Structure 1
Amino acid sequence: MNDRFAGIREFVAAVDRGSFTSAAETLGITGSAVGKSISRLETRLGMQLLHRTTRRIDLTTAGETFLLTCRRILEELDQTEAFLSTGHEQPIGRLRVDLPTTFGRRHIVPALLSLTERFPRLDLAITFQDRAVDLVSEGVDLAVRIGTLDAFPDLVARKLGEQRLLICGAPGYLERRGEPVRRDDLLAHDCLIGWRRSARSGWLLAGAGNDSEASYFDVRARHELTDGDTLLNACISGCGLAQLPGWLAKDGLRTGALREVLPSLSTTTPIHAIWQKTRHLQPKVKAAVDELTRLAALETSVFQP
């Protein structure tokens, strides 16, 4: 009788390490043994999982789908073995996290790296994107997202805090072009646009009254710069006005490199951690969510508006 689990660990190791030789070093066997095991797995499944060349291996479409299941099987097995040997659920395995580019790099990654120091068997695979991702199809365990979330029944969201959006300009730019005093004055200015969900070149601005909802206001986009640090540097350099999150603009405002304009139009957007809804939350995901929640609760937290 065929062993349905034969070849799975070799397959995952080969993908993670990028070659049969590197996988063999991890597993303590020969590269030939890894290749043969994966070939037998493909024969049993009746499909090709990997494209092989002399220099690299790549996943086929079927391989990408099968890899997600294999990872879950191995991680659950490792988790159960750790629980049986210690009596405690421990965060182990590879935690796949997707983060907003600048915010994630500056504020989330340090917290996650610190978490791995406390739990040596926890590994990270981090991607940086400002677009929404499909956690299930892309194999993401945990994501942090800024902005209003769409409702998805198969996802869980925990609000970590908010970021305040400010309209800023460099003193030199404001001296040349004048400081806007009304919303419509923005139409006469060069504006710098960051990542946007739709085709509109707009900023999210506060409504006229306290009870009015924030809405998008179309501006003339001189430059589109999807990297937050690049957007900040362009604004400081005098290229135009930019709508910046407070955590990104604060140093420039403190030193005088930036000035806030139209403060009455500033608004806030939520920051959430999101993950897949399951009957049992994996310890690695729970540990990461707990760490981000702890970070958000600090008085000096970047999650405070």
Structure 2
Amino acid sequence: MSDSRFDGIQEFVLAAQLQSFTAAGLQLGLTSSGVGKAVTRLERRVGVKLLHRTTRKLSLTNEGEAYLASCMRAMEDLGNTENFLSTGHAEPRGQVRIDLPGAFGRRHIAPALISLATQYSQLDLAMTFGDRTVDIVSEGVDLAVRIGDLRDDPELVARRLGEQYLVICASPKYLERRGSVDGKESLLEHDCIIGWRKGLRAAWLLKDAQGQVEYQDVRVRHELGDGEMMVQGVLAGCGISQLPTWLVHDHLRSGTLVTVLDDFAGVTMPIHVIWPRTRYIQPKVRVAIDALLSLAEEHSDIFMCGKV
């Protein structure tokens, strides 16, 4: 019997994908029992149970899900290398998983990535949108865009795309109904619309007379977990909100929204693309990084959006 560390991996991957030892055996030219024994030996070698077995179907354990993801990445890397050796160039291929901030990602990043996918027939996209900060290393994310300061993490590489400029705005009908916003302390009296706090302090970033950034507590009336919905709430006159100019630019130009507390505006938040640190960046990840860097350079009106 071979003691290779790779024994059983092919059987495990197929069985996990097909949820059946029998189906995996038909593809591999083995009996169902042969596939099952190969997976059992693999589980014994790695020291954890990878598959739940029932009479009806197979299902992955938590450890099995993590191991399957690692196996798939390794097999994809081998496929990319073989393709490079046979063709002389590294064609982007396989699935690239990208995590994006909700409104900004949908509006400005996703269209560029979808356009990229039309250029490469072997490139598959898996995009998620939201304001939850995922752990891209442990969750198997290839690439992410982050808005805000980054913590120092030796496992990640970051490239700056630009920055967003924050303003506090309201609809004219809200100001007619509730009165003007006079001084930063009045934010404790007005109806404020914020994003989902995750239990954190309800405060906005303002600049003082010396240009230093400070936190100002606000009175929360509505807590909306999506930037587009926050804009809709402000447009409807439900309250005032601190929002990036790229999100409200057109409304400020048309007059459907107006800025308030302009003397305290000017806070910026950096926008980065980040990815796991590795010796070799796969072609599928490299083309996505390059596409985002080019997008930021060509559309400085979006990625370096300043005061309207």
Q: Which TM-score applies when normalising by structure 2?
A: 0.86
Instruction: Supply the distance in 2 between the matched residues of 1:54 and 1:146 (Cα, whole angstroms).
Output: 48
Please say which of residues 97-106 and 294-303 is displaced more in the overlay. Answer: 294-303
Counterparts of 2:59 and 2:190 in 1: how far apart (Å)? Answer: 48
Mark the runs of 5 or more structure 1 residues left unpaired by the alignment.
none
Match of 1:40 among 35, 38, 41: 38
Structure 1 residues 63 and 91 mapped into 2: Cα distance closer, same or farther (>3 Å)?
A: same
The aligned residue for residue 230 of structure 2 is 231
The answer (yes or no) to whether the contact 2:11–2:39 under 8 Å persists in 1 is no
Moved more, 286-295 or 90-99: 90-99
| Counterpart in the other structure of 1:134 | 135
**How large is the RMSD of aligned CA atoms in angstroms?**
2.9
Q: Report how far residue 251 of structure 1 moved.
A: 2.2
Q: Per the alignment, do residues 282 and 157 of structure 1 end up closer, same or farther by CA in structure 2, a change over 3 Å counting?
A: same
Contact kept, 8 Å, 2:96 with 2:142, in 1: the verdict is yes
Partner of 1:86: 87
Please name the residue that 1:189 is paired with.
Answer: 190
Percent identical residues: 50
Q: How many residues align?
A: 298
Which has the greater radius of gyration?
A: 2
Residue 264 to residue 59, structure 1, CA distance change in 2 (3 Å): farther
User: Partner of 2:290: helix, strand, or coil?
Assistant: helix
What SS is found at the alignment partner of 2:204? strand
- The Cα shift of 1:55 comes to 8.9
Task: Determine helix, strand or coil for the equivalent of 2:303.
Answer: coil
Who is 2:153 aligned against?
Answer: 152
SS of 2:222 mapped into structure 1 = strand
- Listed as ranges, the matches of 1:262-301 within 5 Å are 262-266=261-265, 267-301=267-301
Change (3 A) 1:236 1:134: same
Cα distance change of structure 1 residues 88 and 231 upon mapping to structure 2, 3 Å threshold: same
Aligned pair in 2 of structure 1 residues 158, 237: CA closer, same or farther (>3 Å)?
same
The code of the aligned residue for 1:140 comes to V
User: Which whole-Å CA distance do the structure 2 matches of 1:271 and 1:184 have between them?
Assistant: 29
Deviation, 1:286, is 1.2
Does the 8 A contact of 2:193 with 2:234 survive in 1? yes
| Alignment partner of 1:242 is 2:233 | no
Cα distance, 1:265 vs. partner?
2.0
**Structure 1 residues 20 and 60: alpha-carbon distance in aligned structure 2, compared to 1, 3 A threshold:** closer
CA contact (8 A) 1:295 1:301 kept: no
Q: Which amino acid aligns with 1:117?
A: T
Whole-angstrom distance in 2 between the partners of 1:281 and 1:92: 13
Say whether the 8 Å CA contact 1:131–1:197 is kept in structure 2: no
Q: Which runs of 5+ in 2 are unaligned?
A: none
Stretch moving more, 178-187 or 134-143: 178-187
User: What secondary structure sits across from 1:164 in the alignment?
Assistant: strand
Shift of 1:121: 0.9
Contact 1:20 1:35 (C-alpha < 8 Å) held by counterparts: no
Q: Deviations over 1:64-122 (max 9, x none)?
A: 32123212211111110110121112221111111111111111111111111111111
In the TM superposition, what is the alpha-carbon distance from 1:139 to its structure 2 partner?
0.8
Tell me what 1:218 maps to: 217
Question: How far apart in 2 are the matches of 1:255 and 1:57?
Answer: 58
* SS of the residue 1:274 aligns to: strand
Q: In structure 2, what is the Cα distance between the partners aligned to 1:126 and 1:28?
A: 33
| C-alpha contact (below 8 Å) 1:207/1:265 kept by paired residues | yes
Q: Aligned equivalents of 2:118 and 2:240: distance in 1?
A: 41
Per the TM alignment, residue 160 of structure 1 is displaced from its structure 2 partner at its CA by 0.2
Q: Deviations over 1:128-147 (max 9, x none)?
A: 23122212111111111000
Q: What residue in structure 2 maps to residue 254 of structure 1?
A: 253
Counterpart residue type for residue 228 of structure 1: G
Find the aligned partners of 2:282 and 2:216 in 1 and give their Cα distance: 42
**CA distance, structure 2, for counterparts of residue 108 and residue 14 of structure 1:** 36
